[in-house]
Structure 1
Amino acid sequence: MNPTRTRALRTSLGAALAGVTLLAAPAAVADPGGQPGGPHRGGDWNQEAFRGDVEVVPGDDASATTLSGVVFDDADRDSTQDAGERGIEGVSVSNGRDVVTTDSEGRYELTVEPGMDVFVTQPRGYQVPVDEDNVAQFSYTHLPEGSPDLKYGGIEPTGALPEAVNFPLASSKAAKHPLQNCIIGGDIQPYTASEVGYAAAGAFTDLAAREDYTSCGALFIGDVVGDDLSLYSGVREQTARLNGPARFLPGNHDLDFDAATREHSVDTYRSEFGAQYYSYDVGKLHVVALNSIEYPVGDSYNGSLGDEQLEWLRRDIAQTPQDRTVVVASHIPLLDYADQDSTKHQVDEVAEIHEILSGREAIALGGHTHSIENLRAGDSLAGWRENFGIEELPFTHLTAGAISGDWYSGELLDAGYPAAIQRDGGVPGVVTLEARGGQIAEHFTQRGDDGSNQMNIGLNTPSYRDWFDTYRDSAGEAPALETAGTVAQSGLGETWLSTNFWMGGSGSEVQVSIDGGPVRSAERTQAMDGEGQHVGAEWSDPEAVQQQLVDGGNVADRSMHLWRLPMPEGLAAGAHTAEVTAVGVDGQATTETFEFEVTE
């Protein structure tokens, strides 16, 4: 028989974040993703959005190196400071190295060299403008002679340093409120226009239906496209559908590969989306968006910030109030599970970044690995210790998964996109950071789902492991496993009920009841206690692998969020039902049922 599943919406077990009450969405308002709404729900984003641009006043002094300007409350939203529109004091403005704050009239002054991005840090209670595609406008790039000859164009010559660069802001009570939902999208990464269409039918259709992130918006953390930078226009068409501001980070597939130096390696990206690294405040969050791609390094890239960006980070954090939770986002994660033994795919300066954030409430976000990871304070892996000297994590590190999933591979589904199951058995989707003051919970929403589906359930049987070993290197060519969802009585003692809880981490639990019997706790396969990765059929996700080996894709032969329960040896032949409850680190629970058959 084929296994079947039913699922229930997640529920609270009364173990939510200490001192924090999670709000229910108003019954009269649809709540895609199951997210609490906060005070910013219910408006028409397209009517209310602050649309505008940074005001650049041209200059004619080719020898000028000092830039001044004003940060102001743009009451009439025309991107120009008019009489009566006040300057805003105490706002951070940076050239990517130095950080200054505006005076009582909102004025700033900075030394600016060719190649620098000048940007404002959106202060709490304000919004920067967005363009017609909802892309946030908060920076100016100074490149007098423009980019070198690049395939995708790079940056047009900007000429002499402007006489002024002025940053308009719009006052926003919603952006000040401590309740915020922030969308984190990893690796859209289309290589073709057709794959832009897959992203459009999947995650972007989901986000277009949601209205719970209008203040914090969506942050897409790199690999916006897959090497073909002409596809940026197609991605912009999708961000135009959002109900909130869109911000971006460059990834290793957003590079100008014909650039000879790092100085110009993301010029085309900057021409489309603005500064290559920056920060912004919303609610009680201070979000730091980093460029973690060092290129070129030989004929490839490396995970690194570089000295100048690291110094900017120190100065940016020094200006940040202690009561803010710092969210550090980068494409290549600071550290991750999938590539825990690699220096290229993690960030060289991770120890320095941890030190800079010492004593603060913080969370790190990454993409790049095409896997979903919820790494918690105290987690430890051998690769982190051996390569970076990190004994254990000081705070949560999330890897957000990929909107593209496993690079749009696998079976094409009726919904109009491929299954694209990821290398850890996770599915394409987005993460929502649910900020309640300085406390953050994280929730994953599968593409095309309402947020209730949080796991895979399957049987890891002797026949499955034999099939796995036979076809492990033949993804896309394997025959279907004929015994899926069944186990012989003689094999019960060598069989596990496997649960891949995508956002599970240290502190999560998976509990199982078979045929209404006693509830038993499943064991996590990866303890995150200083060991290396467990890899192979024994540690794999059977439900995901059965699709990947048949329809194609990277095989889910390891995971940091897999739980398994030994099957009772006394089960009678016939149909059985397992009820599986997965409890997240924030106390939220999801229950699903799984039907299987025991044969004689």
Structure 2
Amino acid sequence: MPLRRPCFLLAAAALAACETVPVEPGSAPGGGTFRFADYRGGPEIVRDGNGGEEAVGVVFEDRNRNSRRDEGEPGIRGVKVSNGRDVVVTGADGSYAIPALDDMSLFVVQPAGYQVPHDTSWVPQFSYEHKPGGSPKPLRFGGLEPTGPLPSAINFPLIRTGAQASYRCAVLGDPQTYANQEIGYFRDSTVDDILDRGEAERPACVLGLGDMVGDDLGLIPRLAEVIGMLEAPQWWVHGNHDIDFDADYDRDSADSWRTLWGPNNYAFEIGEVLYVVLDNVFYPCTAEDAARPGRAFCTEDERKRYNARLTEDQLAFVEGLLANTDEDKLVVFAHHIPFVSFVDQTATAHQTDNVAELYRLAEGRKALSFSGHTHTTENFAPGDSFAGWQEAIGVEAVPFRHIIAGAASGGWYHGDFDHHGVPMALQRMGSPMGWLSFDVSGSSYRERYHGANTGHDRRMWLSVNTPVFRSWYGQIMDWRSRPEDQRDPVPPLSINDLPDVKIMTPRDLSRGTWLTANIWDGDSATRAEAVVDGRTLTMERTQSASGEEAKAGAEWADPFAVQRQLSVSRSALESRSGIPRNQGYEAYRGSSFGPQTPGPTGPVADRNMHLWRARLPEDLAPGLHRVVVRSTDRHGQVTEDSLVLEVRDRQPPPRFRTDVFDAREDGPPVR
């Protein structure tokens, strides 16, 4: 066989050839019709006092769906079972034996063509948590109670589903609900948007990419119940806001999660896809982490901190999974903190330290990375590269597609209310809160980001970057950068001070005015063009992903998002209710925002990897012009949006012309 060099060792220019799931224009799969059954139950735990040093049991076909192995119910051969480190495969009779670790999640890897049971909220029940002494100290959210000796048998029931060739999975980044109020916002935005698309587009599975809640793990049951309205198995990733913050060691930091949801490292199959869920949040990080450059915070900070890395057990788990998985399957790595990021391209804690080791294990495989954490939508094609990656984590370019799937919480539920009564909460690069559809056919797929309640066909924001906008932006951002105690409490400008950016003068055009398109899930293969008065303008992506640093500032900001992020009025809400916490609003761990003068808050889309722009012609004639923007993604899907621009000699007065109206009296009535 010819020698194959690992993709991650190739030069960035050559990496484009490493895309392992090619999708020709027009050939991408659509939302499938496969759905899982409402199969409730859980593992069969047998305790007769004969537990040993190995975990043993049978994976069986639960023909009567009672979660017990009854006479005539056969074992299932060739199913993977893991303790989170080792991976074994069941024998001809469905039996398995695997080393028992002192602290482990023992689970079955749901095989293609089968389904594990779930609870009443559709949370899969496929594991047994083993921690004989329980959590080493009382934890705020309960931790794990002592499990005692290993059961004599742990049997995993499955039912047959038939072919799973074509289906949709709803991918949710960071619901990050800190409070019950925010679960309501999530319900009325992302969950409502998915349900509103009808039965034909209902997902067969839900993949939650971590930060499911915001530090209050007691919210997990209600959140799971709300997501359960989708009537699809919901597989969750453990995030940095899902941890036991009062745990002293990483091995205990997911104990409450394991009680309330399930394992924090596991895998499952649907059709021709193996999903590998990895908890890459190492908390609290230690001297081992601090030994790497840029991670001194792990030991110098007075607070416990987390770092992003994979443990030896996790890498052994991945190696064992891949060794026992058909090479033609697509491998989807689902994790919370990105392997790499654009918006945090120089950060050490927010990218995964030793991901190069995982790249080596996956070399030659059809692979895909899904993550959340950054509250951005980022779609990296193989070969994409940004400055800072090499210094931060030793990676020059990505060897397979990496998708940061945005945030269902958007910009942490900040912003003014939309017409659904939900905070607008635009994300750090201006995408709306929402979800990503993952449409699978065989081992091919199509991804698409959906803004919650923004309309089923909308894929981008359009706006105009004018000289006046840049001046307005600069003055507010300069004020925002000063310490709060050293600046006027009232911002220098608000949205009321920004003239209509879609009205421009000949001088604006001569000084540089750009039409902008923030294409939420755009990537290196996305193409965009604008048609103005019959003229076609090619729109250029502001970032080329060829190893450069992030371009930030007024010239590279998304005017659509920034206008909404820099002048938020919700913080000014006050009442005479006498309830202090109802004044202004709260976010995060009960942090107060207001009551105060409206102003910028939350994230600001000052940089972007999915912004396209075209300079408007200086000779654009006076009058009105309809502009149509057409984007084509890597799957050949075309999306159009439009706006109307005006060219005037000068900006018309924006308010009611009282001077003109009051210049004359109405006169006496006619009798």
TM-score by length of structure 1 reads 0.91
Map of 2:419 onto structure 1: 414
Show the counterpart of 2:620: 571
8 Å contact from structure 2 (residues 195, 230) kept in 1: yes
The CA distance in 2 between the partners of 1:588 and 1:439, in whole Å, is 15
Listed one character per residue, the Cα deviations across residues 430-450 of structure 1 (whole Å, up to 9, x for unaligned) are: 111111211111011111145
Matched, 1:388 2:375: no
The one-letter code sitting in structure 1 at the alignment partner of 2:164 is H
| Number of residue-to-residue matches in the alignment | 564
* Residue number in structure 1 paired with 2:494: 479
> In the alignment, does 2:364 pair up with 1:359?
yes
Q: Aligned equivalents of 1:352 and 1:232: distance in 2?
A: 33
Distance change (3 Å), C-alpha of 1:322 and 1:367? same
1:188 counterpart residue number = 175
Identity between Structure 1 and Structure 2 (%): 40
2:515 equivalent to 1:518: no
Checking the alignment, whether the CA contact within 8 Å between 2:26 and 2:635 is kept in structure 1 is: no
Query: Which residue, 57, 60, 63 being the options, matches 1:69?
Result: 57
Q: Distance in 2 between matches of 1:439 and 1:67?
A: 36
Amino acid at match of 1:87: G
**What is the Cα deviation at residue 20 of structure 1?**
7.4
C-alpha distance 18-583 of structure 1, shift in aligned 2 (>3 A): closer
**SS of the counterpart of 1:511?**
strand
1: CA distance between counterparts of 2:384 and 2:33? 35
Which residue matches 1:30?
none
Structure 1 residue 405 and structure 2 residue 410: aligned?
Answer: yes
Cα distance in 2 for partners of 1:264, 1:181 equals 34
Is 1:284 the counterpart of 2:261? The answer is no
Q: How does 1:172-187 map to 2 (within 5 A)?
A: 172-173=161-162, 176-187=163-174
Mapping 1:445-594, distance limit 5 Å:
445-472=450-477, 477=491, 478-480=493-495, 481-493=498-510, 494-515=512-533, 517-551=534-568, 552-594=601-643
What is aligned with 2:99? Answer: 111
- What SS does the corresponding residue of 1:582 show, helix, strand or coil? strand
Matched, 1:205 2:192: yes
Which residue matches 1:28? none
Q: 1:405 to 1:492 in 2, by over 3 A?
A: same
The Cα shift of 1:215 comes to: 7.3
Amino acid at match of 1:491: D
- Residues 1:348 and 2:353 are matched in the alignment: yes
SS at match of 1:233: helix
Q: Which runs of 5+ in 2 are unaligned?
A: 1-21, 286-297, 299-303, 481-489, 569-600, 650-671
Determine which structure has more spread, i.e. the larger CA radius of gyration. Answer: 2
Alpha carbons 1:485, 1:596 under 8 Å: kept: yes
Q: Is 211-220 or 260-269 further displaced after alignment?
A: 211-220
Cα offsets for 1:88-118 (capped at 9, x unmatched)? 0000000011100000010000111221110
C-alpha displacement at 1:344, in angstroms?
0.7
- Distance in 2 (alpha carbons) for counterparts of 1:137 and 1:239: 16
Which runs of structure 2 are paired with 1:19-418 in the superposition (5 Å)? 21-22=27-28, 36-40=30-34, 48-60=37-49, 64-147=52-135, 148-173=137-162, 176-209=163-196, 210-211=198-199, 216-297=204-285, 298=298, 299-418=304-423
Give, in whole Å, the separation in 2 of the partners of 1:84 and 1:215.
Answer: 33
Amino acid of the structure 2 residue aligned with 1:544: A
Letter in 1 for 2:139: L
Amino acid at match of 1:111: P
Q: In structure 1, how many angstroms separate the alpha carbons of the residues matched to 2:220 and 2:479?
A: 34
Q: Deviations over 1:387-444 (max 9, x none)?
A: 2332221111000000000000000122021000000011111111111211111011
CA-to-aligned-CA distance 1:473-531 (integer Å, 9 cap, x gap): 5679541122332222112131110110011000110110013x122210110000011
Q: Is the 8 A contact 2:528 2:631 kept in 1?
A: yes
Question: In structure 1, how many angstroms separate the alpha carbons of the residues matched to 2:560 and 2:470?
Answer: 12
Distance 1:72-1:449 versus aligned 2 partners, 3 A rule: farther
Aligned-partner Cα distance in 1 for 2:200–2:401: 23
Distance 1:84 1:20, change over 3 A: farther
Structure 1 SS opposite 2:439 = strand
- When normalised by structure 2's length, the TM-score is 0.82
Per the alignment, residue 427 of structure 1 pairs with 432
2: CA distance between counterparts of 1:216 and 1:93? 23
What CA distance in whole angstroms lies between the structure 2 residues aligned with 1:105 and 1:19?
45
Could you tell me which amino acid in structure 1 is paired with residue 157 of structure 2? P
Relative distance call for 1:138 and 1:473 in structure 2 (3 A) is farther
**Matches of 1:19 and 1:468, distance apart in 2:** 39
Q: Work out the CA distance in 2 between the residues paired with 1:109 and 1:213.
A: 41
Quick one: distance in 1 between partners of 2:448 and 2:278? Answer: 22
Aligned-partner Cα distance in 2 for 1:166–1:576 = 68
User: Matched residue of 1:534: which SS?
Assistant: coil
Instruction: Name 1:5's counterpart in structure 2.
Output: none
- Distance between the aligned counterparts of 1:301 and 1:113, measured in 2? 24
SS in 1 for 2:566: helix
- Give the counterpart letter for 1:511 in structure 2: E
Q: Which SS does the other structure have where 1:118 is aligned?
A: strand
* CA distance in structure 2 between the partners assigned to 1:455 and 1:214 by the alignment: 23
CA shift in 2, pair 1:195/1:503, >3 Å: same
Bigger mean CA offset, 394-403 vs 572-581: 572-581
Q: C-alpha offsets along residues 279-305 of structure 1, whole Å, 9 cap, x if unaligned?
A: 111111111111010000232101112
Distance in 2 (CA, whole Å) between partners of 1:474 and 1:575 is 35
Letter of the 1:192 partner, please give it: A
Amino acid at match of 2:280: S
Unmatched segments (≥5 aa) in structure 1: 1-15, 24-35
Please list the CA deviations of residues 156-193 of structure 1 after superposition, one character each: whole Å capped at 9, or x if unmatched: 221110111111111001xx332121111010101111
